[in-house]
Amino acid sequence: MTRPLSLALVQAPTAPSHDIGAFAAHLEQLTRIHRDTHLFVHPELHLTGLGEATPDETAERIEALAQPLDGPRDRALAELAGDLGRWLVPGSVYERGADGRIYNTAVAYSPEGRRVASYRKVFPWRPYETVAAGDEFVVFDMTGFGRVGLSICYDAWFPESSRHLAWMGAELILNLVQTPTSDRAQEVTIAKANAIVNQVFVASVNAAAPNGLGRSLLADPQGRVRVESESSETAVLTDVIDLDEVAAVRRYGSGGVTRPWMQYEGEQSSLELPLYDGRISSGRWAPASVATAAEVSA
């Protein structure tokens, strides 16, 4: 391995009472058990779940849970990541934007105690999810490792989301999920498919019962499942992946054959995309350059 990244996918139910203190205590315990793990990832709305709220109660609870991005919850999470010296994606949270609207927003923190990325869910689960939609895709660099893209639950159903993250240079896509419905079976297939067609690692981290059906998994750039949960029980899935595998699969092809990112190499052409009022251009098709191990370590 030349760029090893150890990660833990925490398949857990919503944190009780939205208690940052309890969350911190649990994470501290996990870091003691998994001492060499660099990155800890939690499910969608892990700290701001709604429990058994009725439709009328849901809106009130979301209003009560929403905070500005730089509010007290953010400061507590940044401090926690810094104290533990770990990369932390604590799931997504309800964010009250400067425009007054509420977003479902994934956040990521560095071992230095800084928020390094925030991503507003571009595809809320309509008509059930009433938050505002985000309008941009987000990647962030893990210093010393590589580039990571953020995705939330239903985003995975839209191939444009994962494609854009891969095009922006993501080598690992974190899809944070809270799915308690029977379509989790399809989501498992979609996670593997997104890994295959974009030649990236994909981690789909679902909530455990009673908030989700579990079945979290990590797929490699050829869609092979490296680690998975086959139940809805609480679990911590750990693995060590080599992000240089992304570049290797793209160079030599999936199964040693297929290289979709090289489709337009040396060819001047374009394809109109009426659905998007846009086009695929050969000059813009290739993803952002993936750093070499030497560059990342610098």
Active site positions, annotated: 44, 121, 153
Nearest to 81 by CA among 165, 142, 152, 126: 142
What's the rounded Cα separation, in Å, for the pair 294 and 297? Answer: 5
What's the rounded Cα separation, in Å, for the pair 74 and 67? Answer: 9
Strand order in the sheet with 139-142: 139-142, 146-152, 172-176, 201-205, 217-219, 225-228
Q: Other CB atoms closer than 10 Å to residue 283's CB: what's the count?
A: 9
Burial class, 122, CB count within 10 angstroms (exposed 0-12 / middle 13-18 / buried 19+): buried
Strands 201-205 and 217-219: antiparallel
DSSP states of 118-166: EEE-SS--TTT--SBPP----EEEETTTEEEEEEEGGGGGSHHHHHHHH
What's the rounded Cα separation, in Å, for the pair 67 and 258? Answer: 45
User: E strand or H helix at 205, and its extent?
Assistant: strand 201-205
The one-letter amino acid at 243: L
Place of tokens 């290797």: 248
Place of tokens 């938050």: 131
The one-letter amino acid at 169: G
At how many degrees (to 10) do helices 184-198 and 159-167 cross?
30
